[in-house]
Structure 1
Amino acid sequence: MTAPALPPLQWDVFCQVIDNYGDIGVCWRLASQLAARGQRVRLWVDDASALAWMAPAGHPGVELRRWGGEMPAAHEAAPDVLVEAFGCEIPETFLAWAVGRAQGQRQPVWINLEYLSAEGFVERNHRLPSLIMSGPAAGWTRWFFYPGFTPATGGLLRESGLLDQRPPGFAAAWRAGQPAAATHPQRWMSLFCYEPAALPALLAQAIRPGTTHTRLLVTPGRATLAVQAALATLPAEHGPLQLQFLAPTDQQGFDDLLWASDFNAVRGEDSLVRALWAGKALVWHIYPQDDNAHHAKLAAFLDWLQAPASLRDFHAAWNGIPGHGPLTIPDDETLAEWSACVQAARARLAQQTDLVGQLVGFIAEKR
């Protein structure tokens, strides 16, 4: 579906980096995809340090601003659209300035861009209004906008032409450029995770003699630390497991990693969506919550994915959900089944309008 045409507007997107890289990763993709459609974006962020390696070249039309910093000058555009990502609260100083700039004119369209989930409440709450009752913007309306996996939600971030960007043979060419290429067939697995309960079991099976040779591509940060901690409890000889510890890479490089691997272990929100677009077998390490609310969120996602029982069991073990058996590395037949499952889900998603396209349509409707 094609989104309605929208003249260039001024978007002010607000992002607070709670931890890890998902917050800024999602917000940067959003901002850059809006700019690619001719929109002007000011991205207000409290910690932009990760963009030094995530998006070192920046993007035309996206301007970084410091959270809580100086207000735009008198000659700069007032906001046409406000976006607060993941429930962050727009600073009252900015709202007061925006209200002052809007005197006698229409209110900016104010979007609360929520977290991604496959749970039923997403469809029920998507596009609902909320009247602001207090503060400098009292009387304004904020709209809830929920990313999601079904046509009744806001969709997922997907830049134009994404599914056609990598030609046939891309994975083989990418692997040939990696260091210390093995002379025997390998299964390539990327690892972007927190500290999975079953990671030591995965490594223990991967080093066992007679196991399928595996190249484990370990992303920097928590995944690297988790692997190093697990290896300290295992034999020094890794047998059929070949470890490759990666340096930080930009978003394009991370996508290449996912598209070139046979099996992707991802975490949080941004990398899950990118792994779905890559169309390879995946396991999602969902962000853990103290009250185990993430268990229901994971179950809803697996239901939408139409995951086979073996993939559900692997997810349960990977995420430390009790009541399930131990983790077992998939054989080639199982891995092919998982890949087919993800590719079928990708095909369903590709029929839906992407998140930015839906946002643009929503703004055109409300203006």
Structure 2
Amino acid sequence: MAAMRWDIFCRVIDNFGDVGVCWRLCAQLARRGEQVRLWLDDPQPLTWMAPGALEGDWPGIDVLHWTTPLAATLGNSLPPADVWIEAFGCEPPAECIDALASRVAAGQRAPVWINLEYLSAEPYVERSHRLPSPVMSGPLRGLTKWFFYPGFTERTGGLLREPDLLERQATFDSAAWLQALGLPPAQRRVSLFCYEPTTLPDVLRQAASEPLGTDWLVTPGRAWQAAQAAPAGRLHALPLFSQPEFDHLLWACDLNFVRGEDSLVRALWAAQPFVWQIYPQHDDAHHAKLEAFLDWLQAPASLRTFHRAWNGVGDQPAVWPGPNDLDDWRTCVQAARARLLAQPDLCSQLVEFVAQKQ
């Protein structure tokens, strides 16, 4: 099949998770020989997440600054795309919509238009995946969008996964990587990428009381600020990592605390014990989303209890895991990873879906 041109639209609204997912998708599409334009209202995170992206150093990927109004050089002046992906429900720029309406009116074919949704393990994902969403109003009335849901089961769109992931993990030297960062040897290393969980001070104190001690590798921004507000134990400030280096962090640690969508997926691929802080919603809708994920994960009781406490669900305290708990958590995560590896990845499924709809 000939290479296609993809427009991926993304608004950076969720602590870099949105752009993180979109960049990984862009990189995987480009690796397949596809041509990708990534429209971002805030391209700055790519300066550290994907160095060189804004300078055009990634073959097959153009990063376009999505301003409002759109710059005069964009919109009508660009070659039309074969695929539109609006990430997480963001509408494409009005100028792009008007330009497409003109082309459709002139008899040209519209792109396959996909609404790439948020990740969830809730039952509605399987029901809604690949369903049509007719455009009922506006200049593109009569076209059809398609819902595409990432997920954890065979009846969803799957997860982003690089073809060489397992090979890179097999050759990764964690000791050398940690030494290059100037980090001391430790009995237990824990990465911390979180928002501001209320139970963090207690967790830090529990970890510090262990005879072997714990070294916390803390990401910059909100996680570092939260840890500094209630310091306990050995905290090590990390720099901003590129996406491959963030993966290395998760591979090198004995326990990972992650947040949001992209890092959850990377924690699953890391196959190490992890605790996920789900993005909090004001109506507590994230509670059901968390429970659905824990059900799919087949999480043991101690991991369920810790997740609930870490996410402010219920009144049970977080209990720092002992060696047996960590072994149970690791076995659980590795079994989940094996189930996921048996399923097609998200990028492959998207390419196949688009080919069917053209």
Using structure 2 for the length normalisation, give the TM-score: 0.94
Question: Are 1:71 and 1:97, in contact at CA under 8 Å, matched by a contact in 2?
Answer: no
Letter in 2 for 1:7: A
User: Percentage identity across aligned positions?
Assistant: 57
* Superposition map of 1:270-309 within 5 A: 270-309=262-301
Letter in 2 for 1:157: L
Change (3 A) 1:285 1:247: same
Cα deviation, residue 169, structure 1: 6.3
Say which SS state the counterpart of residue 230 (structure 2) adopts. Answer: helix
Q: Which amino acid aligns with 1:83?
A: I
SS at match of 1:19: coil
The answer as to 2:94 corresponding to 1:99 is: no
1:52 and 1:180, CA in 2 relative to 1: closer, same or farther beyond 3 A? closer
For 2:317, the aligned partner's letter is P
Alignment partners' CA distance in 2, 1:71 and 1:123: 40
Is structure 2 residue 195 aligned with structure 1 residue 194?
A: yes
Which residue number in structure 1 is paired with residue 49 of structure 2?
Answer: 54
Distance in 2, Cα, partners of 1:177 & 1:342: 28
Question: Does residue 245 in structure 1 map to residue 237 in structure 2?
Answer: yes
- Larger mean CA deviation between 99-108 and 59-68 belongs to 99-108
Name 1:212's counterpart in structure 2: 212
Where structure 1 has 5 or more consecutive residues not aligned to the other structure, the ranges are 1-5, 232-237
Deviation larger for 289-298 or 53-62: 53-62
Q: Quick check: 330-339 or 72-81, which moved more?
A: 72-81
Note if 1:158 corresponds to 2:161.
yes
Shift of 1:197: 1.7
| Aligned counterpart, 2:350 | 359
The one-character-per-residue Cα deviations of 1:154-212 (angstroms, maximum 9, x if unpaired) are 00011111122123562233233332514xx511100000001210111111222x433
Q: How does 1:1-367 map to 2 (within 5 A)?
A: 6-58=1-53, 59-67=58-66, 68-70=70-72, 72=74, 76-102=78-104, 103-167=106-170, 170-182=173-185, 185-208=186-209, 210-231=210-231, 238=232, 241-323=233-315, 325-367=316-358
Q: CA deviation at 1:92?
A: 2.1
- The answer on whether the counterparts of 2:36 and 2:62 sit within 8 Å (CA) in structure 1 is yes
Q: Distance in 1 between matches of 2:241 and 2:281?
A: 28
Whether the 8 Å CA contact 1:205–1:211 is kept in 2: the answer is: no
Question: 1:75 offset after TM fit, Å?
Answer: 6.9
**Tell me, what secondary structure is at the counterpart of 2:38?**
strand
Counterpart contact for 1:14–1:43, Cα < 8 Å: yes
Contact persistence 2:135–2:145 (CA under 8 A): yes
Partner of 1:234: none
SS in 2 for 1:166: helix
Amino acid at match of 1:211: P
1:65 is aligned with what amino acid? L
Cα 1:125/1:262, change in 2 over 3 Å? same
The aligned amino acid for 1:336 is: D
1:216-265 Cα offsets, whole Å, 9 max, x none, are 0000000000001112xxxxxx5xx3211001010011000001111000
Please give the per-residue CA displacement for 1:296-342, whole angstroms capped at 9, x wherever unaligned. 0000000000000000000011111123x211110111101101111
Deviations, residues 267-297 of structure 1 (Å, cap 9, x unaligned): 0000000110000000000000011000000
Higher relative contact order (CA 8 A, sep 6+): 1
Range with bigger deviation, 249-258 or 59-68: 59-68
CA distance in 2, matches of 1:224, 1:18: 20
TM-score in terms of structure 1 length: 0.92
Amino acid at match of 2:311: N
User: By how many angstroms is 1:73 displaced?
Assistant: 7.2
Letter in 2 for 1:219: T
- 1-side partners of 2:91 and 2:334: how far apart? 37
Compared CA separation, residues 180 and 364, structure 1 to 2 (3 A) = closer
Distance 1:173 1:225, change over 3 A: same
Q: CA deviation at 1:142?
A: 0.3
Larger mean CA deviation between 342-351 and 100-109 belongs to 100-109
Residues matched between the structures, number: 350
For residues 168 and 47 of structure 1, what CA distance do their matches in structure 2 show? 35
For the 8 Å contact 2:76–2:99, the answer to whether it is kept is no
Is the contact made by 1:206 and 1:212 (CA closer than 8 Å) also made in structure 2?
Answer: no
Report the Cα distance in structure 1 between the residues aligned to 2:38 and 2:139, rounded to whole angstroms: 21
Go from structure 1 to structure 2 and tell me whether the alpha carbon gap of 1:257 and 1:341 turns closer, same or farther (over 3 Å shift): same
Query: What whole-Å deviation, never above 9, does each CA across 1:16-64 have from its counterpart, x for those lacking one?
Result: 0113110110111111111111111111110011100110122211101
